[in-house]
Structure 1
Amino acid sequence: MSNKFTFSYAFVLWVSTIVLSHIGLSQEIPSSDSRIYYVGGDHKFPPYEYLNEKNEPEGYVVDVMRAVAKAAHIRIDIQLQSWSNARFALENRKIDILEGMFYSRERDKVFDYSDPHTTVSHTIFVRTDNTAIQSPKDLVGKSVIVQKDDIMHDYLLNRKFDCKIVTVENPEQALDLLASGKHDCALIAEMQGLYYLNLKKITNLTVAGASFYNVRYCFAVAEGDSILLKRLDGGLKIIKSTGEYYMIYDHWFGKADISKLKMTLFYILIAAFVLMSATLFGTHVWTSTLRTKVKKATEDLTKEIVERKKIEGKLAEEKILLRLVIDNIPDEIFVKDIHSRFILVNQAVLKGHGFSTSEEIVGKTDFDLFPPERAKIFWDEEQTIFRTQKPMLNVESSYIGKDNKLGWTATSKILMKNIHGAVIGLVGVKRFITDQKLAEEEALRARKIESLGILAGGIAHDFNNILTIILGNISLSKSLINPDSKIVKYLTNSEIASLRARDLIQKLLTFSKGGQPIRKPIAIGNLLQETVTLSLSGSKARSVFSIPHDLWTVEVDESQMNQVISNLVINADQAMPTGGIIEIFAENTILEETKYALPAGKYIRIIFKDSGIGIQREYLQKIFDPYFTTKSKGSGLGLATTYSIIKNHNGAITVDSEIGKGAVFTILLPASEKEATTKETSSATDFRGTGNILVMDDEDYVRDLLGSILSGLGFHVDFAENGDQAIQKYQDAMHSGQPFHAVILDLTIPGGMGGKETIGHLLKIDPNIKAIVSSGYSNDPLMAHYKDYGFCGVVAKPYDINQLINVMKSIEG
Structure 2
Amino acid sequence: MHHAALLLLAALLAVLPAAGPARAADPIPQAEVPGVSRPVIVGGDRDYPPYEFLDAKGQPAGYNVDLTRAIAEVMGLRVEFRLGAWNEMRTALNEGGVDILQGISYSEERLKEVDYAPPHTTVNHAIFAHRGAPPVDSLEGLRGTRVALHKGGIMHDTIRQMGFEHDLVFSDTPADALRLLASGRCDYAVTAMLPGMYIIRENHLDNLEVVARSVATVRYGHAVRKGDDLLLGRFSEGLAILDQTGKYEEIRQKWLGVLENRPIKWSEALRSISLVLAPMAALLLGSMIWTHTLRRRVAERTRSLSSALDQLRENQRQLLQADKMAALGTLVSGVAHEINNPNGLILLNLPMLKKVQTDTGRILEEYRDAHGDFTLGGIPYERMRRELPVMLEEMQEAAVRIKRIVNDLKDFARRDEGAGSELVDANDAARKALRLVEAALRKATRRFTASYAQDLPTVRGSSQRVEQVLVNLLLNACQALPSPDRAIRLETRAEDQGRAVALVVQDEGVGVDPQDLPHLTDPFFTTKRATGGTGLGLSVSAGIVKELGGSIRFESRPGQGTTVTVRLPAAPEEAE
What TM bracket, shorter-length normalisation?
Answer: 0.3 to 0.5
Q: Structure 1 length as normaliser, TM-score?
A: 0.29
The structure that has the greater radius of gyration is 1
**Greater RCO structure (CA 8 Å; 6+ sep):** 2
